[in-house]
Structure 1
Amino acid sequence: MPYAGIVLAGGAARRLSGVDKPGLVVGGSSLLSRAVAAVGGADPVVVVGPRRPGHDGVVWTREPVPGTGPVAALAAGLALVAGDGVVVVLAADLPGVRKSTVDRLRAALADADGAVLVDAAGERQWLLGAWRLAALRQAIPEPPENASLRRALGGLSLVDVPAEPGESDDIDTPADLERHR
């Protein structure tokens, strides 16, 4: 089944002194490259964030006011996806995300609005999921700037997909980065 991919690659990385998180290299690949590879079968692959070299074949966009949160970034990405199919949404700071992650999320979607990866602590990873486009579009508040992602998406019908070890890890701090290098 065809699907679109949206990779959220903005953010201020305050806990990492403002470094470009998607550009961080883990295991020989940038975090952005890992996210783009995970949605490699998507059409289109939309990256929301500053344009970075070396990612041919993706569609770049930015939210109207950069820095106004993931809901605004998601809305900007959704504006470039046509139709009413499925979209996989990923953050660009996930060193353990793989194509098999995306495949499991898509397979779990069934009749639900979304399938979201759940970490070992039982926490939903809102930026690691597969969504029905129509439901996702309807859930985005107006205006999307500075809106809560959990509040926007939490009312949708969801399937929780247990994460495999390391799959839901993200890099937010220098300690996170060292653990994955």
Structure 2
Amino acid sequence: MVIELGLAGFAAIVLAGGQGSRLGGVDKASIEVDGRPLLEHALDAVLDASEVVVVGHQVPTDRPVTFVREEPRFGGPAAGLLTGRDMLLRSFPTIAVLAVDMPRLAPGTFRRLQEAAVGHEGAVLADADGRRQLAFVVETARLDAVRPDHEGQHGLSIRALLEPLDLVEVAPLGDEARDIDTWSDLRDIAGEADGDAGPY
């Protein structure tokens, strides 16, 4: 089964449960960029989603989202993704997944990914060097088909989880693929915002 046009709605999972070790253990979701927390940027990017699950610490937001902690605890991004998938209240043909530390993603990013995924099992944002980013859409049924058992989720990488799937790679526009892993990354993005409002 592959993704087709005209599907009604999709779910979104925001991965916000990392330990932020290179940021001194700070909760990334609460870090501000352009005067707003990273979580709010992430929720803006999946504005078109019919249901949203945030995997991470619960923080104040006026958005209708479900918060959950990954299981097993600190089990990594794949464990977070699968925990979030299990928390969805409704069934959707596709799921959009994004890391909370990518503030330049936008609704248009996921519209492009959905369009590119037609005829495939999903689509993933990949930078100029071919590195796949934590911003992708995937067919729910195929994700369910390749997921390991609960024990196998611990420490599993997203790359390994998705390796069996037919995902088409989509080039980013502008700074869509930029993420914040260090304080230097944050300063760079903040400095660019001060100098140029950019395409968003």
Any gaps of 5 or more consecutive residues in structure 1?
A: none
Q: Please name the residue that 2:43 is paired with.
A: 36
Q: Please name the residue that 1:156 is paired with.
A: 165
1:85 to 77, 93, 116: 93
TM-score for the superposition, normalised by structure 2? 0.86
Mapped partners of 1:139, 1:24: distance in 2: 34
Moved more, 47-56 or 161-170: 47-56
Mapped partners of 1:104, 1:96: distance in 2: 14
1:109-128 deviation line (CA, Å, top 9, x unaligned): 10211100011222111x20
TM-score for the superposition, normalised by structure 1? 0.95
Q: Which amino acid aligns with 2:87?
A: L
1:113 to 118, 121, 131: 121
| Same amino acid, percent of matched pairs | 39
Q: How many residues end up aligned between the 2 structures?
A: 180
Structure 1 segments, 4+ long, off by >6 Å, are none
Map residues 116-127 of structure 1 onto 2, 5 A cutoff. Answer: 116-125=124-133, 127=134
| Residues 41, 103 of structure 2: 8 Å contact kept | yes
Q: Which amino acid aligns with 1:175?
A: S
Q: Which amino acid aligns with 2:13?
A: I
1:176 to 185, 190, 195: 185
1:57-97 deviation line (CA, Å, top 9, x unaligned): 00111123321101111111110233250110011000211
Mapped partners of 1:154, 1:100: distance in 2: 25
Q: Please name the residue that 2:58 is paired with.
A: 51
Deviation at residue 145 of structure 1 after TM alignment:
1.4
Mapped partners of 1:120, 1:30: distance in 2: 27
Q: Please name the residue that 1:71 is paired with.
A: 78
Any gaps of 5 or more consecutive residues in structure 2?
A: 1-7, 191-200
Structure showing greater Rg:
2
Q: Which amino acid aligns with 1:162?
A: A
Mapped partners of 2:73, 2:137: distance in 1: 24
Deviation at residue 139 of structure 1 after TM alignment:
2.1
1:25 to 25, 32, 52: 32
| Residues 42, 100 of structure 2: 8 Å contact kept | yes
Equivalent residue of 2:43, what SS?
A: helix
| Residues 17, 70 of structure 2: 8 Å contact kept | no
Q: Which amino acid aligns with 2:166?
A: S
Q: Please name the residue that 1:61 is paired with.
A: 68
Deviation at residue 29 of structure 1 after TM alignment:
1.7
| Residues 55, 70 of structure 2: 8 Å contact kept | yes
Q: Which amino acid aligns with 2:91?
A: G
Mapped partners of 1:117, 1:132: distance in 2: 15
Mapped partners of 2:28, 2:21: distance in 1: 10
